[in-house]
């Protein structure tokens, strides 16, 4: 019995060891595949989970900020829409096309008004449009120059006013957003201290800290809306101001002459101006220089 028991006891560990080895050998690859499968599933569901997490976080921020954050988000959408419309308007108007008006002006000042009109009329740039109006007005000799310039200035002002459209709403949003954020912070602080007062002797620091960060959230959102709006507004205004300056410069050159190319009148080359005294009389040097000629003419 003892021998049989010993034999059985000796055989059982060997079988157990084999079973354990087999179990280890069989389960290790399966476990690795299971981990890889889980990782693959996690990678596959990562973007969706990230979007859901972002949406959930945005909803929590909206709930924590209250109606003030909702108003600020609405203002940000309006500002973005206005900026996109203005960029499209500037692209259609070809504000970046500065060569065409300059080329047309050079042709006009070179004595080729027909070619200048053809070049300027082919562009949608406001400076080119004003240049066409100025050249056509100068071609009508029966119209006074003052009347032509007044009409050209009026037409250019209308074009600039159209480009400046919707700048005031952007300015209002840029100025109002920080004030709305500060207003929401004040309301949040009032609510936090009311909860702290209602707690009485059982004051929980989490109540005050939670109310404070929710209150400061509106200020952060207000600044986040205001800063890009102000930057974009200044950039848009700068482009329009530069266009106005270029328009005024081109129109002025149509009605004036290029003094750098002006030549002195015939018979005046090399002639020195007469030297006169303050009272309008010639100086002694001028009289002395004419004395030999006078003596020779006697």
Helices 67-92 and 46-65: angle between axes, nearest 10 degrees: 120
CA-angle at 141, arms to 139 and 144, nearest 5°: 110
Q: What is the mean pLDDT of residues 30-58?
A: 52
- What is the token pair recorded at 92? 């259609």
> What is the C-alpha end-to-end distance of the chain, expressed in Å?
173
Q: What pLDDT score does 264 carry?
A: 56
Cβ neighbours of 45 (radius 10 Å): 11
Task: Evaluate if residue 88 carries a pLDDT over 90.
Answer: yes
Q: DSSP character for 60?
A: H
Task: Evaluate if residue 94 carries a pLDDT over 80.
Answer: yes
Q: What pLDDT score does 188 carry?
A: 86
Task: Evaluate if residue 138 carries a pLDDT over 90.
Answer: yes
Round to whole Å and give the CA distance between 258 and 146: 19
Q: What is the mean pLDDT of residues 22-43?
A: 41
Q: What is the CA radius of gyration of the chain?
A: 43
Instruction: Using alpha carbons, select from 143, 140, 122, 121 the residue that is nearest to residue 132.
Output: 121
Task: Evaluate if residue 277 carries a pLDDT over 50.
Answer: no
Round to whole Å and give the CA distance between 217 and 184: 8
3-state secondary structure of 282: strand
Q: What is the mean pLDDT of the chain?
A: 77
Contact status, residue 100 vs residue 120, Cβ threshold 8 Å: yes
Which has more pLDDT, 46 or 195?
Answer: 195
pLDDT band at 219 (very low <50, low <70, confident <90, very high): very high
Task: Evaluate if residue 284 carries a pLDDT over 50.
Answer: no
Q: How far is CA 205 from CA 65, 193, 279, 293, 295, in A?
A: 20, 11, 93, 110, 114
Instruction: Collect all residues with Cβ–Cβ distance below 8 Å to 80 and sequence separation of at least 6.
Output: none
Round to whole Å and give the CA distance between 153 and 250: 11
- Backbone dihedral angles phi then psi of residue 282, each to the nearest 5 degrees: -75, 150
């Amino acid at each position: 019995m003892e021998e049989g028991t010993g034999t059985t006891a000796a055989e059982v560990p060997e079988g157990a060891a084999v079973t354990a080895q087999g179990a280890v050998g069989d389960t290790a690859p399966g476990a690795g595949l299971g981990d890889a499968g889980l990782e693959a599933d996690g990678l596959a569901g990562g973007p969706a989970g990230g979007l859901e997490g972002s949406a959930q976080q945005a909803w929590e921020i909206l709930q924590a900020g209250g109606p003030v954050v909702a108003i600020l988000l609405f203002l940000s959408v309006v500002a973005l829409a206005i900026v996109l419309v203005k960029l499209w308007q500037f692209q259609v108007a070809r504000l970046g096309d500065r060569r065409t008006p300059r080329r047309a002006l050079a042709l006009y000042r070179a004595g080729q008004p027909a070619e200048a009109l053809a070049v300027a009329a082919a562009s949608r740039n406001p400076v080119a449009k004003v240049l066409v109006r100025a050249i056509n007005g100068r071609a009508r000799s029966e119209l006074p120059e003052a009347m032509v310039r007044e009409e050209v200035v009026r037409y250019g002002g209308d074009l600039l006013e159209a480009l400046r459209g919707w700048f005031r709403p952007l300015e209002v949003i840029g100025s109002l957003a920080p004030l709305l954020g500060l207003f929401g912070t004040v309301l949040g602080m009032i609510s936090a201290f009311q909860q702290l007062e209602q707690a009485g002797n059982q004051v929980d620091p989490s109540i005050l800290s939670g109310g404070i960060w929710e209150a400061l959230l509106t200020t952060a959102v207000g600044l986040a809306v205001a800063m890009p709006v102000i930057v974009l507004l200044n950039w848009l205004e700068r482009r329009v101001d530069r266009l106005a300056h270029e328009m005024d410069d081109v129109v002025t050159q149509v009605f004036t002459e290029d003094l750098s190319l002006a030549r002195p009148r015939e018979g005046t080359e090399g002639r020195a101006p007469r030297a006169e005294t303050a009272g309008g009389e010639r100086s002694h040097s001028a009289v002395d220089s004419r004395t030999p000629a006078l003596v020779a003419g006697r």
